[in-house]
Chain A
Amino acid sequence: MSTTADVFFIDGVRTPFGRAGEKGHYWQTRADDLVVKSMIALLERNPEIPKEAFDEVAIAATTQTGDQGLTIGRTAAILAGLPITVPGYAIDRMCAGAMTAVTQTGAGIGFGAYDLVIAGGVEHMGRHPMGEGVDPNPRFLSERIVSQDALQMGKTAERLHDRYPSLTKERADAYALHSQQKATAAYKAGKIQQDMIPVAVKSAEGWGLADNDQFLRPDTTLEGLGELKTPFRVGGKVTAGNSAGLTDGATASILASGDAVKKYGLKPKMRMVQFAFSGVEPEVMGWGPVPATDKALAKAGLTINDIGLFEINEAFAVQVIAFLEHYGIADDDSRVNPWGGAIAIGHPLASSGVRLMSQLARHFEEHPEVRYGITTMCVGLGQGGTVIWENVNYKG
């Protein structure tokens, strides 16, 4: 009988994140090409794994039509040059798509069904704007199952500000500024580039090479942030400066069982300890990471005090400071998003989960004194997801 296998995060890469729309890197680049290029680069970085050894390819996308449709995990596997014997499928949990790709395939490894998988995600929000082609059941509103605000993420962020008056706009802006500053510093130090793969892009000026995240604004100031419009509510608190922008990008990662690590001599970066997803009221979806984290910690027999590093997705600054306040962590705590987050880097919905993981893995390398870390994110329609990871470099 097989026993429960260890689940290791081996490696993760991503494309540079582009601004959605005509001014963005990827206006003339297909979504599937973004994830395929990421997968090819990932495979090249890990040549010791024979391509036929992969048991599954799970790729997430929120809007699964056009160049993000056609069972993108399968099509991407074929286009990336994996043997036809390697299967693949598509995943959707909106913003937590790639995270879910990791947890589902990771669970498959834990169960003993898989030894090696590729998990990732893609979202081309320029080609597939949020809400493209959706057709919510009228019962949601007629029966007041969810509030009207629940379907617009920016409005849910405003609602979170309403619910917790201590989460002021000033705090959200200060958090956003800090995210930009941390990301700028990490860029200067060449840290973020380590797991970023340049992508050749066609444009009106000919071929170019996308090699930077377009949302980074090193010149951000508190005053500048204070003057921005509040597009989701007149006199509101949520602005383009304290939210993640509309982004195009893709990620891909490799997970492996303990057996595969031994067999192919892989160097794992971290071990999956536990994960959980949890639902909350859709109109305050940004609260999702709290119950998800509580649930994952409880299952793992850990407490928040055991967590030494946090990679929390910054869909909106308010959602991050809500989480931090709940756990009594300072807004500028150095354990949280040490290289900044989605406010500065961008958030191509279904791909962001793996970016959090690649970065947490890098933080672990730099912090052998830390044993556990989490990646966590909020999800549209009121969900949160949290994965707890153990640092393989941990020296207690």
Chain B
Amino acid sequence: MSNYDKIDFKALAESTNEDVITYSRVRDVKLPSGKNFALITLDNDRDHNRPNTLGPATMIQLGEVLDQLKKRAKAGEIAGVGITGKPFILAAGADLSQIQNLKTKDQAKQIAQLGHYVFGKLDDLGVPSFCFINGLALGGGLEIALNSNYRTIDSSAAAIALPEVFLGIIPGWGGAYLLPNLIGIENALKVIIENPLKQNRMLKPADALSLGIADVMFSPARFLEDSLKWADTVISGKVKVKRPNEPGSVEKLAKWDIAINIARKSLEGKIGKVAKSPYAALDLIAASKKGTKAQGFEREDDVLSGTYRG
């Protein structure tokens, strides 16, 4: 298994020279029950016309913030961690302008590893993590949410999607493993492969809710207040979150491979075999029914560096 801790991502950050950093700022808020909660705001200090992006320097900072919060959680200072965005925007994913400049396969792999390394921390804080999807969440933006333990969504969020396949890549920061395990095989195929190939169709917040990507939806006027109140009830155990489409072992045994085969045939019929990324995504989704999250993440690393063999 990859030990992400041992990788030095600094060189990656230096070579990509990210011109707009998205900062991870933390404020403590008091939940209604009196518990202390750390709220991370992602903000690149530009207006909504320049969405938050997640380049290497941004990711390294977020990782450091999460490390500090893990320590604070251990010290009993916080009962939960939330992450949300600047007005109208959670995050629009990796900084694509940079990805196109990547020179080596090594760097591509490191980008994937950095995402897994940092976002993985959201599931290893020692306290529950929440993503409050307050607006646009694309690609890596949505993967922040998928890596969190719980998700709320603003009913006015502009769009929710994993558009990677549309861009010729794959959801490589956990999406290809986490999403099928959250919303089931057929829904995941739709979100990861079908929608991107339909002129990059995106989800509305209500779709994200009914699919089970979001656990609960609130209206925008008091979205953050309501999200914090809800997080409080989850932390205290008053609310038990049920995921409508989370696949059980029966689905994995009976439906998974059939759905994959149908999707593969339909893909071959529609787009032929030249385009690589839809098939790579398909392979990843197929594999996501088995094994650990760490293995899933490693498969994504391999695909992004071009070394994965299904």
Contact = CB atoms under 8 A, between A and B. Distances in A.
B221 A79 contact: yes
B222 A37 contact: yes
A206 B43 contact: yes
Interface in A316-369: none
Given A206-B39, A207-B84, A208-B39, A37 B26 contact: no
Contact of B225 (A80, A199, A205): A199
Interface residues of A, number: 20
A37 B40 contact: no
B30 A209 contact: yes
Nearest to A44: B222
Nearest to A79: B221
A103 B45 CA distance: 45
Contacts of B39: 206-209
Contact of B30 (A37, A79, A211): A211
A211 to B, nearest CB: 6
Contact of A81 (B40, B221, B223, B225): B221
Interface string B36-63: 0001110100000000000000000000
Contacts of A211: 29-30
A213 to B, nearest CB: 14
Interface string B221-236: 1111100100000000
B41 A207 contact: yes
Interface string B249-266: 000000000000000000
B87 interface: yes
A69 interface: no
Contact of B29 (A37, A41, A197, A209): A209
Nearest to A197: B225
Nearest to B41: A206
- Residue from A37, A40, A206 with most neighbouring chain B CB atoms (10 Å): A206
A205 B87 CA distance: 14
Contact of B222 (A40, A206, A208): A40
A200 B108 CA distance: 38
B35 interface: no
B222 A203 contact: no
Given A206-B43, A208-B39, A209-B30, A37 B221 contact: yes
A214 to B, nearest CB: 15
B219 interface: yes
Interface of B: 25-30, 32, 39-41, 43, 84, 87, 219, 221-225, 228
Interface of A: 33, 36-37, 40-41, 79-81, 197-200, 202-203, 205-209, 211
11 contacts: A37-B222, A37-B225, A81-B219, A197-B225, A200-B224, A200-B228, A206-B41, A207-B41, A209-B39, A209-B225, A211-B29
